Structure 1
Amino acid sequence: MIRSKPLALALCCLAFATQSFASPKRPNIVVLVADDWGYSDVGAFGGEIATPNIDTLAREGVRFADFHVTASCSPTRSMLLTGIDNHRNGVGNMPETMPDEHLGKPGYSGVLNDNAITVASLLRDGGYHTYITGKWHLGKTPDTLPGNRGFDRSFIQADSGSDNWEERPYAPLYDKAAWFENGQPAHLPKDYYSSTFIVDKAMDYIAADRQDGKPFFAYLGFQANHVPVQAPKDVIDNYRGRYDEGWTALRKARRDRAAELGLMPANVGMQTMASTADWEALNEEEKRYEARRMEVYAGMGETMDREIGRLIAYLKATGEYDNTVFVFLSDNGSEPTDPYTIPALRLWLEINYTRQLDRLGSEGAFTSIGPSWASAAASPLSGYKFFAGEGGLRTPLIVSGVPGIQANHISRTFTHVTDIVPTLLEVAGIKPHGGHYQGKAVEPLIGSSLVPVLQGSAERVHPEDQAIGYELSGSAALFKGDYKLVKSLKPVGNEQWHLYNIATDPGEVIDLQQQMPERFQGMQADYAEYARANGVLPMPEGYDYMHQGQLYALKHVVMPKLKAAAPPVVAIIVLLVGALVWHRRRKRVA
């Protein structure tokens, strides 16, 4: 007994020394991807929607005021997960909007190719558990599902979206809602609501592996606020009357708040989109209906925030919150499309959904916010989803939980979605693959880590002379320092190049091409080189993403059903649709 005391003391000292000098536990990583949120939808970015949990992450971390993604969902997600330009990782366009001329061409498979290594694969190789719940939209064949792209556990929606209350598609783009769990077709519970379910499954996966002490990477792809815009009625009713002054008043209020917060320059200019209707020209019944659409949208956003709050509470209860890095972003800007204005979709919607005022947001009802509210959601930016204006490409980005981070800080440096992968690898202590992975050459990362900016040791992420290109469905841009070269397809743009200083003029009001002809020409040359190096294909004459979506639905859903039911009818429909498409393309070219 006498000799055991020194031994016990020595063991205690050894244990203390081992604990003191051991490497700190690597952080967990949670990536929260909102769908179709406008720049100022988040409270911390100037919005009136109640997002207290996301706002708390903003106070504890850094808000990036000049963060850019692509103008549509799967191309952004492809770059978010790989750190590689979408034309090089296989998702040069969404399958639903890809013209036939591009099908099968390099970079245009519509799914991640084998040369693109996901951050999930790299984190899993480095000792992380990897989980994904919610929207995937990067493939739904066995070899393209998350289990083959680095995720240990997954419960995903493989398409662009689906109903938020039921297991069914939201549009005739699909014949069913394609949900998969761990690579196998899966079904939803009867009490399903998208944001709640996505968080429930993430917490289930985290809990299942807690005991082994390994860090986790959890990617939550919310369907909020993708169409159909749906939310619990009690949350929607919190906003009753909030939008009665209309979209123009909301756009101004959000612009002023964003500037007050320091996210935008004071007195920032704003364009009035041609698609924005005159609120005062509406009658009282029309105003009430339009206001309710935005109330539903706000309720959907608040509900997502509440579910994020549940996840945060769980991580706090399990002692993991203080060792978790959070990344919050939207995959693109606000959604302008009103499906009821598209004849083929309207017919399908009238059969499958209601749009009665008192049912908007509920099960069996369909609504969207349309271009006027979408412009307000993107305030003070120009444009929205699908197009290359700042309203389509600039979205909120919040990062918190990184050791040494500047709390409640706003960075106004240009940031890109491809910067996320290098950032996550650095905080995880994992070296980037450098263009080689498991003995083969792969696409190298093109982004830069945000950690120096997060910790305050640098002000810029990218050198001022670095050219960063963008193209999707014919709309294009090139960023260089504080300047942006941009062109957008009709009807939002005129398909001509324009030049803006988006640091001082993020609303893209003052075209500088006449004042800066050398920069204007030089950046066009930079874009041409970007397009050449990344295999960007020109769009076919008369291309329109909405018409292309209708053709996709016809080819993949409508025609197979009609062919099986009544072959003679098929020929008639093909002729009618073909004539309609030809007429619209001819009219557009003219």
Structure 2
Amino acid sequence: MLPALISKPARGIVWLCALWLAWAQTAAQAQSDEGVNRPNILLVLADDLGFSDLGAYGSEISTPTLDRLAEQGVRFTNYHTAANCAPARAMLLTGVDAHLAGVPNIPEMLAPEQMRFDHYQGVLGNNVVTVASLLENAGFNTYMAGKWHLGTGPGKLPSARGFMRTVALADSGADNWEQKPYLPIYDKANWYADGKPFDLPQDFYSSRFLVDKTIEFIDSNLDDGKPFFAYLPFQAVHIPVQAPQSFIDRYMGVYDGGWDVLRQQRLERASALGIVPEHTAMVTMSTTDDWSSLTAEQQRYEAKRMAVYAAMVEAMDFHLGRLLKYLELQGRLENTLVVFTSDNGAEASGPPRQNAPINQRLLASMDYNTDYETLGLKGSYNTISPSFASAVASPLAYYKFYAGEGGMRVPLIVAGPGVVAGEIDRAFTFVTDITPTLLSYAGVAAPGQRFAGRPIEPMSGRSLMPLLTGAADRVYGPEDAVGYELAGHAALFQGDYKLVRNRPPVGDGVWRLFNLADDPGETEDLSQREPRRFEAMKQSYANYAIENKVLAPPAGYTHTGQLIINTLHGRLREPILVGLLLVLLLIPLWVTYRRRL
């Protein structure tokens, strides 16, 4: 940290000078084959991780690797991403808004009316350039092992988007124990290695395998004098939620008190850690069941669903620890910037009664079971319900797909050389800021209006280097506006305020205004108390929608309903399977509807 006697503007000048000198030195070194000492970069992405799922953010889950990184670096408590995976990944890797990048939603949930437009295909467009391409051009070895979900056609796999070595899952998810799909929308689990179809090994477990491949890739060029950029997007904790028995055993009995108890416990711990203000209030989601109304057997089953979830988080942390230990033993960790975050908030699409007969029949047709004794193991299909999803997002409202804080606010930890240690940063930050940050850290200039002979969209994100070095308190000023949209769910962030709209069935489609600095739980709507701000922010959102070519969803659209329609379109010859899927996916909608009566 710079001395407190130096003013913020002066610190900013000092930081800029230091950054320029570092870049100049990096550029000079890059011209020589000897003495290259540019930093390595490790970008780690969890899948569907809730805001308070790490010990450093208030969780009861054991995450020593990530907690240690938090102590060694900066914990961001006001970092926001998209509320589902592909848009988040597009913005994370390009610094460009998801709509302009061609990924306004996952392709499995896009309506045909929207897909008539080139920028609504759900695959990464050629009008954007990935951070991997930019770093590869700057002399980095670039690797990826994990979930891609940004396209599979010609030129769309990661091997064509700047990654030199890859093993990638092209789909939205897949089994963690073997190579099979998790939804009937897919014929198979589509894995690729260096651009070619790939068969998983027999002893596959996703978190272990992906770390093994990352180590293999880094080790293959360890002594060539070049820095590396490694992108590690885990499958954890996307459905199906699965984990080794040894990890599951540690959480048996931990969740016997239910989701309301867990939500309150996490709020208290997050408040004590300084992750949220002491006075933070919470809403009770309409999709949260009454724990006391469940039978003892139902409570036992629900508690184990959550135990498997916690085990999968800890297993991810354990295997990430193996990677960091490898880097340490090779003498590379001290010169590696490590960035950890999640693509979106907690997944809540698991049915309230996972082991109901209709669900068992559907899953049996896909060679899965929901048996209590083997829950989370090979052959088992597990999820958490909306009730526990609200708990792992504690103290936030909503979850994945929705624009509430529980769907968009996730952990972000950054540690490495030059990063201040042990800091908690409460400044607003956004997913498009990650690529500019990595480029700044590597001393690589952002591209201009063209790249590789084609026009490209400019980056809208901002480098977080001033926050990481302690040179500034914010990178966004009080008047800077950042917009967001996903299938009609929408938000605009400006200063400490957030304008938000969540559509049915969980939301009501009404615009609301919150002060996130005081009320991260989004409990007090300020739209009537601050009408001028409310109207001005609605106009700013309208401007954002125009500038980013946002298309309104068709009448009656829901993301679950569209998934059903798209599945029906691709599976008309399998009516029994489709019928079961239809019933399964409609159950949560029916439950929500009944609660609103």
- Whether these two folds match at TM > 0.5 is yes
Within 2, Cα distance between the matches of 1:343 and 1:516? 50
Matching of residue 141 in structure 1 with residue 141 in structure 2: no
Give per-residue Cα distances to partners, 1:481-513, cap 9 Å, x unaligned.
000000011122110100000111000000000
Tell me, what secondary structure is at the counterpart of 2:568? helix
Task: Report if aligned partners of 2:567, 2:578 keep a CA contact under 8 Å in 1.
Answer: no
- 1:244-283 paired onto structure 2 within 5 Å: 244-283=256-295
Superposition pairs of residues 147-186 of structure 1, within 5 angstroms = 147-186=159-198
Give, in angstroms, the shift of residue 25 of structure 1.
Answer: 1.0
Deviation at 1:104, TM superposition (A): 3.3
* Alignment correspondent of 1:444: 458
Contact 2:50/2:345 (8 A) holds in 1: yes
CA contact (8 A) 1:271 1:382 kept: yes
**2:114 aligned with 1:102:** yes
Which among 58, 62, 71 is matched to residue 59 of structure 1? Answer: 71
Radius of gyration: which is bigger?
1
1:300 aligns with 2:315: no
Contact 1:402–1:427 under 8 Å retained in 2:
no
Preserved CA contact (<8 Å) 2:36 2:226: no
| Preserved contact between residue 360 and residue 369 of structure 2 (Cα < 8 Å) | no
Q: Does 1:362 align with 2:374?
A: no
SS in 1 for 2:397: coil
Q: 1:154 to 1:24 in 2, by over 3 A?
A: closer
Q: Superposed, which structure 2 residues align to 1:318-467 within 5 Å?
A: 318-339=330-351, 347-351=361-365, 352-403=367-418, 405-467=419-481
Moved more, 410-419 or 486-495: 486-495
Q: Which of 213, 235, 238 is the matching residue for 2:250?
A: 238
Q: Which amino acid aligns with 2:502?
A: S
Q: Which amino acid aligns with 1:261?
A: L
- Note the C-alpha offset of 1:24: 6.7
Task: Give the deviation of 1:284 after TM superposition.
Answer: 0.9
SS of corresponding position for 1:434: coil
| Superposition deviation, residue 348 in structure 1 | 2.6
Task: After TM superposition, give the deviation of residue 234 of structure 1 in Å.
Answer: 1.1
Deviation, 1:358, is 0.6
SS of corresponding position for 2:200: coil
Counterpart of 1:547 in structure 2 is 561
Please list the CA deviations of residues 94-117 of structure 1 after superposition, one character each: whole Å capped at 9, or x if unmatched. 111111111131321110111110
1-structure distance, mates of 2:76, 2:431: 11
Shift of 1:126: 0.3
1:172–1:348 contact (8 Å) kept in structure 2:
no
Give the AA of the match of 2:462.
S
**Partner secondary structure for residue 248 of structure 2:** helix
Deviations 1:39-65 (A, max 9, x none): 000110110111000111111000000
**1:527 Cα deviation from its structure 2 partner:** 0.5
1:77-107 superposed Cα distances (whole Å, 9 cap, x missing partner): 0000000000000001111111111113132
1:131 Cα offset (Å):
0.5
Shift in alpha-carbon separation, 1:479–1:135, aligned structure 2, 3 A: same
Aligned to 1:14: none
| Residue 534 (structure 2) pairs with residue 528 (structure 1) | no
Whole-Å separation in 1 of the counterparts to 2:39 and 2:349: 39
Partner residue of 1:11? none
Q: Which of residues 485, 497, 500 is equivalent to 2:514?
A: 500
Q: Do the aligned partners of 1:344 and 1:550 also contact (CA within 8 Å) in 2?
A: no
User: C-alpha deviations, 1:219-262, integer Å up to 9, x for none?
Assistant: 01101000000000111010111111111011011011111111
Closer, same or farther in 2 for the Cα pair 1:284/1:555, shift >3 Å? same
Secondary structure, counterpart of 1:63 in structure 2: strand
Does residue 288 (structure 1) correspond to residue 300 (structure 2)? The answer is yes
Q: d(CA) in 1 for partners of 2:578 and 2:91?
A: 38
Runs of 4+ in 1 over 3 A off after TM superposition: 21-24, 339-347
For 1:577 and 1:197, locate their aligned partners in 2 and report how far apart those are by CA, in whole Å. 33
Q: Which amino acid aligns with 1:266?
A: E
Aligned partner letter, 1:215:
P
TM-score normalised to structure 2 length: 0.90
**Partner residue in 2 for 1:47:** 59
SS of 1:251's equivalent in the other structure is: helix
**In structure 2, C-alpha distance between the alignment counterparts of 1:252 and 1:225, rounded to whole Å:** 22
Matching of residue 473 in structure 1 with residue 487 in structure 2: yes
- Work out the CA distance in 1 between the residues paired with 2:173 and 2:358: 19
Matches of 1:398 and 1:210, distance apart in 2 = 25
Amino acid at match of 1:230: Q
AA in 1 matched with 2:163: F
- 2:340 and 2:347 map into 1 onto residues whose CA distance is 19
Preserved CA contact (<8 Å) 2:568 2:578: no
- More deviation in 139-148 or 57-66? 139-148
**Rounded Cα–Cα distance in structure 2 between residues aligned with 1:449 and 1:464:** 17
User: Displacement, 1:196?
Assistant: 0.4
Q: Which has the higher helix share?
A: 1
Change (3 A) 1:114 1:539: same
Cα separation, 2, equivalents of 1:489 and 1:62: 34
Unaligned runs of 5+ in 1: 1-17, 563-568
- Measured after TM superposition, the shift of residue 441 of structure 1 is 2.3
Alpha-carbon shift at residue 433 of structure 1 (Å): 0.7
- SS of 2:77's equivalent? strand
**Residues 440-478 of structure 1, C-alpha deviation per residue, up to 9 Å, x if partnerless?**
321001011111111101000211101100000110000
Alignment check: 8 A CA contact 1:386 1:392 kept: yes
For residues 348 and 233 of structure 1, the distance between their equivalents in structure 2, rounded to whole angstroms, comes to 25
Q: Following TM superposition, by how much is the alpha carbon of 1:434 offset from its aligned partner in structure 2, in angstroms?
A: 2.8
Identity over aligned pairs, percent: 50
Task: Kindly state the Cα deviation for residue 265 of structure 1 after the two structures are TM-superposed.
Answer: 0.5
Report SS of the residue matched to 2:223: helix
**Which amino acid in 1 is paired with 2:554?**
P
SS in 1 for 2:229: strand
Residues 362-402 of structure 1: CA deviation (Å, up to 9, x unaligned): 00111101100000000000000010000000000000004
Cα 1:297–1:88 change in 2 (3 A) is same
* Deviation of the 1:577 alpha carbon: 7.9
Matched-pair contact (CA < 8 Å) for 2:564–2:582? no
Map of 2:220 onto structure 1: 208
CA distance in 2, matches of 1:383, 1:42: 18
- Answer whether contact 1:84 1:443 (CA < 8 A) is retained: yes
CA distance in 2, matches of 1:344, 1:240: 27
- One-letter identity of the residue aligned with 1:307: H
1:553 Cα offset (Å): 1.8
Deviations 1:7-37 (A, max 9, x none): xxxxxxxxxxx9xx99771111001100000
Q: Could you tell me which residue of structure 1 aligns to residue 90 of structure 2? A: 78
TM-aligned CA distance change 1:113 to 1:573, over 3 Å = closer
Whole-Å separation in 2 of the counterparts to 1:441 and 1:113: 11
- After superposition, what is the alpha-carbon deviation per residue over 1:143-173, rounded to whole angstroms, capped at 9, x for unaligned? 2001110000000000001000010001112
Give the partner amino acid of 1:547. Answer: G
Aligned position for 1:9: none
- The corresponding residue for 2:498 is 484
Q: Secondary structure at the match of 1:363?
A: coil
What amino acid maps onto 1:64 in structure 2?
A: F
User: 1:346, CA displacement in angstroms?
Assistant: 5.9
The question of whether the paired residues in 2 share the 8 Å contact of 1:106 and 1:535 is answered with no
1:557-587 superposed Cα distances (whole Å, 9 cap, x missing partner): x22x54xxxxxx79x989x989x99xx99x9
SS of residue paired to 2:503: coil
Unaligned runs of 5+ in 2: 1-28
SS class of match (1:553): helix
Distance 2:88 2:153 in 1: 20
